[in-house]
Amino acid sequence: MNLLRKLLNFRKGDGMQEQDVPQLDVYREKIQACEQRAMDKGDALLIELHNTLIQRDRAQARVINEKLELLFDHLETIDQAKQLLELKLPSAKEGPPIPTYLVSSWFLAECCQYLTSDHKRYERLHFVTGSKIGMVRTFDRMVNVAMDKQSSIYASADLRDTQKVLFEMDTWGHAVHGLFHSHPGQGGNATGPSGTDLATHERYERGGYPLIGAIFVRDGYVRFFSKNARFTIHIHGKGVEQIDEHLFKINSGHVQNTISQIESPGRSSGDGQAGARAGVLSGETEPSEDSDDRSGRPGE
């Protein structure tokens, strides 16, 4: 059927969008007309077959049956064309689904308390895991890892311990959802990711890890980030103010009321990502040319 072929080529050609709806309406009208003509032809053939049976004309009945078989094929093609027309059209602005990360304000304050409470004011980091339902992932379990290097402006995780953590995650069927770390300085600008932070997350994204980063500073600001991956953040609970799309401010009272000096967060699990991929998860965060204050760093 030429009309079906044209419709298939039209839909496969450049990717149909909402602006193509008027042309689809033209095809819809043509298909409806084809269907009506086919049904009229079928009615005429059935009347002819009835008369042929009365006349006991077996040879003519065979001819009519062959015509009816062809008509059935024609109607099935029309049904395929109608189904093709009803496929959902993507919006011109619509892209791939954007994942949402859900976190409790209470858990966020605990992470801030742990990451910013080193007595030497060294940077800290930890992984985060949680549950996954559809496009929603949760941050609800801190996963601590031993440090390889650590200073007031730098932190990296021990590779051997990272591998051990990943295997433990794997036994529980969990994935790494986040890599959280601290920065010195205060204010929202101090939470901007460095070039090293972004390069680290680019490696994660190339490796297929579903994780994003978060940077905390002592006065309660936290920024979520990635290198290229799009995402949304939803905070459940009270005590956290949203500053912009990915920047938040934890109320200082809520931070102080969390468990003080959380030195050993529990470990959790990881989604079949252990072993060979452990090298990607070294957990390295940025060395900086700044000394002990990143308040002048540009925001995300």
SS3 102: strand
- pLDDT for 99-151, tens place per residue? 999 999 999 999 999 999 998 999 999 999 999 998 999 999 999 999 888 88
DSSP 200-251: HHHHHHHTT---EEEEE-TTSEEEEE-SS---EEEEESSSEEE-SSSEEEE-
What is the pTM assigned to this prediction?
A: 0.58
Strands 147-151 and 132-133: unpaired
The per-residue pLDDT for 5 is: 55
User: For the stretch 278-296, what's the b/e string if a residue is b when 16 or more beta carbons lie within 10 angstroms of its beta carbon?
Assistant: bebbbbbbbbbebeebbee
- pLDDT for 87-108, tens place per residue? 544 454 556 788 999 999 999 9
Element (H, E) at 127: strand 125-129
Domain ranges of the chain: 2-85, 100-281
- pLDDT for 36-89, tens place per residue? 888 888 889 889 988 998 999 999 989 999 998 888 888 888 787 777 666 544
CATH number of 100-281: 3.40.140.10
Closest C-alpha among 178, 191, 16, 182 to residue 88: 16
Sign of CA dihedral 71, 76, 77, 78: positive
Enter the tokens of residue 66.
Answer: 């062959």
Mean pLDDT of 6-13: 48
Which of these ranges, 15-24, 124-133, 139-148, 257-266, has the smallest mean pLDDT?
257-266
Enter the tokens of residue 196.
Answer: 């090293």
Confidence band for 220, pLDDT divided at 50, 70 and 90: very high
Strands 147-151 and 154-157: antiparallel
Closest C-alpha among 277, 296, 300 to residue 213: 300
